[in-house]
Chain A
Amino acid sequence: MTTLNSNATEQQSPTFGFWVWLMAPERRGALLITPAIVLLFAMNILPLMWSFGLSFFRYRANRLNPPEFLGWDNMFRNYEKVTSSSAIWDSFQTTAIIVAGSVTLQVIIGFLLALMFAREFPFRKILLSMVLTPMMLSFVAVGVFFKFFYEPSFGLLSQAIRVFTGEPYILLGTKWGSIWGIIIADAWMWSPFVMLLVLAGLVSVPKYLYEAADIDRASWFRRFRTITFPYIKSLLLLAVLFRTIETFKLFDLVYIITEGGPGSATETLSVYVYRQGFQYFRTSDASALGYILLFVVIVLTNLYLYVVNRRSEEL
């Protein structure tokens, strides 16, 4: 039986040595992921490393001059230049304000929504899917929607305020108005995300704990502090971190709603980098700035992963 089988294999197998080697079962896994790896390398990793290299060169993408190395003793000049400009610190500040405002608002609204959806009521399912819709929309759709919403002549906001004041209302005309406009758009879009995470925590609380707490005569606040909160604590922290990282990188909404304006009032870091790179073509400066941004995000991400790991240990 065995000899018969091996004979058959010898007869059927093709004679090309490389093909046989390539198709061997132990190489099948590697073979299957190769296209994805090649694509990833070409589209992601190579440009990433290229731009990292560029941050140590003098280069403008709209000129024909080849990149020129800054020299070993001078290689961090681009980093020094971008961090010493006052514009980037303004931009950092703007980003921080938007992150703080939007994440706070998202947590508050998301938390309240979660408390509401944690119990049963009529039309809960329909309402829940409606509340989740903003999260599923694309940034561009949300951006355009809010741009029209804030529009002074026919926007809903302006028209509603005109009923009381008699004058059109230009929200995006001032620095703080514009910042609020962006915070509200971002919070509207992402509060459902916080709600989903908190809701997951809320429904994981066993019901009998509340019953026990009732028998033990615990007040509402005490029940929340000793039973509910411990269950949602780490999920809430995850939501905050995740949203902080994402909002820190916020570009689309800002670019569509205010284009960083008025002036540079709502210029977040991402918008600033975009302008440096693709409007002023300071390619190497923008690269350096991009890596500073990346560093901040990596720090935040590690914090996030630390929390994730700690939660999985807790459960």
Chain B
Amino acid sequence: MSILKITGLQKSFGAITAIDGLDLTVEEGEFFALLGPSASGKTTSLRCIAGIEKPDAGQIEFEGSDVVPTPIQGRGMAMVFQAFALYPHLTTEQNLAYPLRERGIEQTEVVRRVAEIAEQLRLGHTLARKPDTLSGGEQQRVAIGRALIGRPKLLLLDEPLTNLDAKLRHDTRAEFKRLHRELGMTILYATPDELEALSMGQRIAILEQGRIRQVGTPDQLYDAPESDLVARRVGSPVINLIRGTAKANATINLPFADISGGNWARTIAGFDVNTEVLLGLRPSQLKLVEGTPGGPNFKATVELLEPLGDVTILDINAAGVEMQMVLPEAKAVGFKVGDSLEIEFDPTTSLLFAADTGTAIS
């Protein structure tokens, strides 16, 4: 059952269009990630859902009824802000209890719930302290605790990890997954970080310029992106998109090789000769030729090496086309800038997009 259904959402601030016709459905109990760069409309979407901003047009159906006219207080959602927004003059305990006041909940119950949340989020030692004496991670957990304590039906998280350092981000990702599993709550999570979205989101919506470009599971987005934009957004290092032209016999002419035999072969056969296309090759799909090449292959020179421990990222140049490839550390040992490599790849897993519209061809 869908708990949240958004249709045709529009929101502008003056001349700037933040959300431009957004449609989205979130299922009950789902961990749903909104992935998009800054200014893509993630935060504005969450703020419209929470009721902080009033949308210019569109419907936000929550549990079956349109909540656009409902004031913030009546929506039964909770939100964690990027800046945490803890009340600076209140202690952890008072911050946690804040949403429970004025709801007619008995004091003993408030105390019990605060203790429960503090225990769950390992905040027991901070209860009497004010936010400015807490570490970034502790402040973060207080913010989450404050959102969870009212037992919201929908939890909105607005880039909650952006203000944490790298190590803490990793731990908190695991924490979010654990909380989601334990509480079974619906979570809508906005992030500019692909890793966060892919590792936590059961489904992900790719947002770009106030519009949703594709919704799907991490695998769907990675294996079958509907546009070059989505392909670029998902996967690290970024996918190589190589400009080429369609030729007769379902062959694609790239600057350094001719390719045929992809999943796209049948479609491309119907194209006009010389149609411009973009071939997508993930950096991990490029392999070094060992023995006889089993597929299309080409020569390239190494331009830059980035050793990352167990893998090495190589910037290579093949006939003027810049690409990136990932090699296991053991295979990249001894390579240096200027070396010439022989590279092959399997055309059946390659992706193809129309050069003008960016739409996937399959």
Contacts and interface: CB of A to CB of B under 8 A. Distances in A.
Interface of A: 206, 208-209, 211-219, 222, 226-227, 230-231
A218 B146 CA distance: 13
Contacts of B78: 215
A215 B87 contact: no
Most buried by B among A208, A222, A227, A230: A208
Contact of B73 (A209, A217, A226, A227): A217
A218 B77 CA distance: 14
A230 B103 contact: no
Interface string B76-109: 0111010101011110001000110111000000
Contacts of A215: 50, 52, 72-73, 77-79, 99
Given A214-B72, A217-B103, A218-B98, A230 B83 contact: no
A120 B146 CA distance: 31
A216 B72 CA distance: 9
A206 B77 CA distance: 22
B137 to A, nearest CB: 19
Nearest to A205: B88
A298 B90 CA distance: 34
Given A217-B73, A217-B103, A211 B98 contact: no
Given A216-B146, A226-B90, A211 B101 contact: no
A139 B87 CA distance: 42
A227 B90 CA distance: 9
Contacts of A208: 81, 83, 85
A52 to B, nearest CB: 45
Nearest to B77: A215
A218 to B, nearest CB: 7
14 contacts: A206-B83, A206-B85, A209-B85, A209-B87, A211-B52, A211-B85, A214-B52, A214-B72, A215-B52, A216-B99, A217-B73, A217-B102, A226-B87, A230-B89
Given A219-B102, A222-B101, A226-B90, A214 B85 contact: no
B89 A226 contact: yes
SS class, residues of chain B in contact with chain A:
loop
A219 B99 CA distance: 11
Interface residues of B, number: 24
A222 B87 contact: no
A218 B103 CA distance: 9
Contacts of B81: 208, 211-212
B149 to A, nearest CB: 9
A216 B101 CA distance: 9
Given A211-B52, A226-B90, A218 B85 contact: no
Q: Which 5 A/B pairs are nearest by Cβ-Cβ distance?
A: A230-B89, A216-B99, A212-B85, A217-B73, A214-B72
A208 B43 CA distance: 13
Nearest to A233: B89
Contacts of B88: 209, 230
Contacts of A217: 73, 99, 102-103, 150
Contacts of A226: 87, 89-90, 94, 98
A217 B83 CA distance: 19
A212 B101 CA distance: 14
Nearest to A229: B89
A219 B102 CA distance: 8
A218 B150 CA distance: 13
B50 A216 contact: no
A216 B52 contact: no
Nearest to B53: A211
A313 to B, nearest CB: 12
B130 to A, nearest CB: 11
B14 to A, nearest CB: 14
A226 to B, nearest CB: 6
Interface string B228-257: 000000000000000000000000000000
Nearest to B78: A215
Among the interface residues A211, A213, A217, which one has the most CB atoms of the partner chain B within 10 A? A217
Nearest to B90: A226
B240 to A, nearest CB: 40
Contacts of A214: 51-52, 72-73
A206 B86 CA distance: 11
Interface in B54-80: 72-73, 77-79
Contacts of B101: 218, 222
A283 to B, nearest CB: 53
B274 to A, nearest CB: 54
A211 B102 CA distance: 17
Contacts of B77: 215
A209 B90 CA distance: 12
